[in-house]
A and B are shown apart, each in its own frame.
Chain A
Amino acid sequence: MPERPVVLEMEHITKRFPGIVANDDVSFDLREGEVHALLGENGAGKSTLMNILYGLYHPDEGEIRIKGSQVQLGSPRAAIDAGVGMVHQHFMLIPVMTVAENIVLASEPVRDGVLIDMRAAERRVGELSERFGLQVNPRSRIEDITVGQQQRVEILKALYRNADILALDEPTAVLTPQEARELFEIVRGLTAQGTSVIFISHKLNEVAEIADRITVLRRGKLIETLPAAGATEQSLARLMVGRDVLLRVDKSEAKPADPLLSVSDLHVIDERGIEQVRGVSFEVRAGEIVGIAGIDGNGQTELIDAMTGLRHVDGGTVVVDGHDVTRVGVQAHFDAGLGHIPEDRQRRGLVLEFSIAENLAVHDYRSPPDSRFGWLSPGRLIERATRLIREFDVRGGGPRTRAGGLSGGNQQKVILAREIDRDPKVLIAAQPTRGLDVGAIEFVHRRLVEERDEGRGVLLVSLELEEVLSLADRILVMYEGEIAGEFPPTATEEQLGIAMTGGGRGEEAA
């Protein structure tokens, strides 16, 4: 492959924040028409580097050159003018406006001096979308199109502003496998026409597939820039984490025994009167991990809430270890032998203002030895916290440390410790590795398999297909509030993906 011209050079970038060096002498370059992946764990400095490129931060040291000339990117506007486009993980679109309106926002074509020339805008959007193979209807409203299409709108927005350097921040995090495939096609189409793409991710397989070159960051430092050809997931993970990581979960054959969780014909109607769970039945037996896969918003959250007593059950039964818990309170579920790792650890799993010791006591603080006659024993709380912090290797603080001050991985360890220490029969883990880095994911996965081998029943609900495939012994796919199919762990992502979108019945996912 001939050496293509370099369009972007970021040289010796250093950015310090109080108490931390977010980028420490990082150099990064991008050649015309290539996909250069930026790989690293959370907190490795990827976002900082991209925010510098987009004019949101100013580097303390180093310089940026675009197409050979040095630039000062003082604001996003300056970055856009220099040809840099960015698609954030959280889309910045206005739901009630049309695709075309969103795309031309802030640089509308003007007619007669004052009026927005909507027709010209739509024409221009149509041209762009045809040229780059990004199919969207310029007249559709954002709220009516799928997440994948919204992402295309974001990309079009950047292209409309003549971006030839495009940064995509974790672009597949919100997509189904099929949509991710389509995105890869789009990225290839863009690079074929000379656009250069920075692809930010922590998913190793994607990076290995789409990128031409890969730059790995770890703790603010540049570890290596290497060609994607020849890089394996294992070698990338080692660069990213700094040690050997177990990527595939190492587990033996499941030995399922008696059913511990039985859900039969469960119906849940939400506040708006929409039936979110429509007659779901399944069992989780001792010693197995059952995975529930599905696109966000297909009733998984309502199902979990109903099983754990957080939501009213409109029909059917939930039985935990022989106890009917269909219509009892939350605490009664825990007492019946349920452990629950909620999907949003910061909002639901922990009281961030509470200390680790207080958070660990949330299920038990009303009864001895945590309290007697309504009087708490702080000593007992500290004692237990000290033990669990050691046992679960929680780092970053002691029993009195505020939970909010811990990193995501350590917060999750606190929750795991709390739920597992009560010796539950059934463990419901909802999105247990969401937002965690590779090291913490490994810990959580290993622990879930250990709990399975201890004879607990584990129900794993996750949006990450890879996670479900590698952990679960049986996989259920949820689609529009129903179980759309059961698969063995040997199923392919494509098979699951089809079930997740209603068996290819259409694209109206999510």
Chain B
Amino acid sequence: MSTPGAAPPPGVDPSGLGPDVQPSMIERYGLAQRAEGFVAPLLTTVLAFLVGGLVVLITTGKNPVTTYRAIFEGAGLSWFFEVGNYRIGLPFSDATVWFPWNVNDFESVAAVNLQQTLIVTTTLVLTGLAVAFAFRCGMFNIGGQGQYIVGGIWAVWIGTSFDGLNPFLHITLAIVVATLAGAAWAGIAGFLKATVGAHEVITTIMLNWIAIWVGSFLFGVGGPLQNDQQASVPFSNDVVEGAKLPILWGDPLLQGLHVGVFFAVAALVVYWAMLNRTTLGYGVRAVGFNPEAARYGGIGVRRNYFLAMAISGAFAGLAGATDILGWQFRLSTGDVQNVAGGLGFTGIAVALLGRNTAVGVALAALLFGSLITGTSTRNLDPEVFQPELASNLTLLIQGLVVLFVGADLIVLWLLRRVRTRVPA
């Protein structure tokens, strides 16, 4: 029953949207995103780190400050503090310009660690955008992991085949096909939502499992993409040299930073421009904010559901290809079955913390990339850090972030509730 001119009963309308509008989770999220800018995500992060530190203190008795310091250095972020007078060469010329950081140093511990951090950040930017784009259309894409795997599978297949092809063509082919494959995989969920109304959370989760088991079959013992050398080991061949991404900074043999980092930067720009400067983005945002108003305005809601989901999947598929061609070079059944540590899933936390904006996703990806690298067992001192806790700490903080993103909505809701006690 709706009646004209109703003043909302107090406390019932935290959204401030007026009577009769019960905001969905997505709407509330959009509101929070708009309202509090950088404050809430920062608060979320600080809170997550505080609680994480408490866990370190209680479970291991170590000093959390030293632990976080170790993570910071393990992530190579200390490299940025080694400022000096350096010169870097400009591309396509002999000229050099002043630069505060020594990019010629690619062997120091800090530099190597930072390269690892940036490699992970690259992937997280892409998988984060995969979640964020769907979110802006009012959908929750939990299927980033599956789309990432599907992209990876195609990159492995193309990367291990066509030996001798021109490297530029080979890489382009692998990336384009993997990106399209990710788009198609997510597009299935978008299509199902648009046509029969199947909820994207359910379908993307199910598609994740299909991707995982298809991968397990392909790379498993006797599978069509299993390697030729060791018949008992379930992983693929390595991609051929010509299909590997060029290394930008660091030692090619020791996982230097590959050019895929530019894909991430480009993807961030594309994401922003697509949402804010194209008719496609206009439709996506309109549907995301208010599907009913979009429909009344003549915007094809179903079409946008499908497109937004497919574009989301494209980002994740690209992430999969970038990892395969950039540093991983092969997939094993263990890789595709690694659900908890999957960078596709971490993309959800990245998007949530980054508030689905390009800048936010970039920063959140760097945060999680640093955490993942900084807690990897590679350079751990058991004195400051319990190895058992190491990578779990990342997952813990990741979980806390997701939890607090929910919690800060509660905080915002309370704030808003106080504010909206203004009469209608």
Give residues in A with beta carbon < 8 Å to B.
17-20, 22, 42-43, 45, 47-48, 51, 56-57, 88-91, 147, 170, 173-174, 202, 308, 310, 329-331, 333-334, 340, 342, 344, 346-354, 358, 361-363, 365-366, 371, 374-376, 378, 402, 404, 408, 431, 434-436, 463-464
Contacts and interface: CB of A to CB of B under 8 A. Distances in A.
B4 A91 contact: no
Choose among B1, B282, B299 the residue with the greatest number of A CB atoms under 10 Å from its CB. B282
Given A351-B286, A353-B30, A363-B298, A88 B9 contact: yes
Contact of B422 (A22, A173, A330): A22
Given A17-B422, A351-B290, A365 B296 contact: no
Interface stretch (B15-23, B140-148, B215-223, B354-362): B15-23
A91 B295 CA distance: 31
B65 interface: no
B84 interface: no
A22 B423 contact: yes
16 contacts: A47-B7, A51-B10, A89-B3, A170-B5, A333-B298, A346-B20, A347-B290, A348-B296, A349-B296, A350-B290, A353-B30, A354-B286, A362-B293, A365-B279, A431-B4, A435-B4
A375 B5 contact: no
Interface in B3-46: 3-7, 9-10, 16-21, 30-31, 34
A42 B30 contact: no
A77 B30 CA distance: 36
Nearest to A347: B292
Contact of A348 (B279, B281, B285, B292): B292
B290 A353 contact: yes
A374 B10 contact: no
Contacts of B423: 17, 20, 22, 43, 45, 47-48, 51
Interface in B286-320: 286, 289-290, 292-300
Given A18-B422, A47-B423, A354-B286, A376 B5 contact: no
Contact of A90 (B6, B292, B297): B6
A43 B7 CA distance: 9
Given A17-B421, A147-B1, A347 B21 contact: yes
A202 B280 CA distance: 44
Contacts of B6: 89-90, 170, 435
Given A147-B1, A174-B1, A351-B286, A346 B21 contact: yes
Nearest to A173: B3
Contacts of A436: 5
A51 B16 CA distance: 18
Nearest to A348: B296
Nearest to A352: B17
A375 B278 contact: yes
A302 B391 CA distance: 57
A202 to B, nearest CB: 7
A404 B34 CA distance: 12
Contacts of A48: 423
A156 B300 CA distance: 48
Contacts of B279: 365-366, 371, 374-376
Given A331-B299, A436-B5, 14 more contacts: A19-B422, A42-B7, A47-B424, A90-B3, A170-B5, A330-B295, A344-B2, A348-B293, A353-B30, A361-B282, A362-B298, A376-B277, A404-B16, A431-B4
A252 to B, nearest CB: 28
Contacts of B2: 344
**List of 3 A-B pairs having minimum Cβ-Cβ separation, nearest first:** A331-B298, A362-B297, A435-B5
Contacts of A334: 298
A445 B423 CA distance: 26
Nearest to B289: A353
B419 interface: yes
Contacts of B31: 353
A361 B422 CA distance: 31
Contact of B298 (A91, A330, A358): A330
Contact of A91 (B1, B10, B30, B300): B1
Contacts of B3: 89-90, 170, 173-174
Contacts of B18: 346, 408
A436 B4 CA distance: 8
A342 B17 contact: no
B40 to A, nearest CB: 17
Nearest to A510: B1
A22 B3 CA distance: 23
B36 to A, nearest CB: 15
Interface in B395-424: 419, 421-424
Contacts of A371: 278-279
Nearest to A353: B289
Given A89-B3, A173-B3, A435-B5, A351 B295 contact: no
B295 A310 contact: yes
Given A346-B20, A435-B5, A435-B6, A351 B289 contact: yes
A435 B377 CA distance: 63
A431 B5 CA distance: 12
Contacts of A57: 10, 421
B293 A365 contact: no
Contacts of A330: 295-298
B282 to A, nearest CB: 5
Choose among B16, B297, B424 the residue with the greatest number of A CB atoms under 10 Å from its CB. B297
A378 B10 CA distance: 38
A331 B294 CA distance: 11
Contacts of B30: 353
Contacts of B294: 351, 362
Contacts of A408: 18
Contact of A354 (B17, B289, B300): B289
B83 to A, nearest CB: 39
Nearest to A418: B297
Contacts of A20: 422-423
A5 B43 CA distance: 58
Contacts of A170: 3, 5-6
Interface string B366-409: 00000000000000000000000000000000000000000000
